[in-house]
Amino acid sequence: MVELAGKGGMDAAEGMELEMDAKAEAMKRVLEMADGLRLETLRGVVGLLRPAQAVHFLVAAAELHLAVHKFGRRKDGAAAAE
């Protein structure tokens, strides 16, 4: 990063901003790939199940997601109160 700042008259803040933008774009691509993998996995699992099993699985997955979200919110609230 220091090398970037020394080239082309770029100051350190501009160099750091460029690096942060590049890292943010890379992180965005990783998250998009992870979302695609999750969707592909979900479709694969649901494709193996009978329709009634798929419904039960999706309901259970949604309930788990909501429970984890609720747990996280409670934990964040408790940490903020300390």
Distance in Å from the first CA to the final CA of the chain: 38
pTM: 0.64
Regions of the chain where pLDDT drops below 70 = 1-9
Provide the pLDDT for residue 8: 59
* Residue 3 contacts residue 18 (beta carbons within 8 Å): no
Which pLDDT score is estimated for 81?
Answer: 85
Q: What are the helix (H) ranges across 1-82?
A: 2-6, 12-48, 51-81
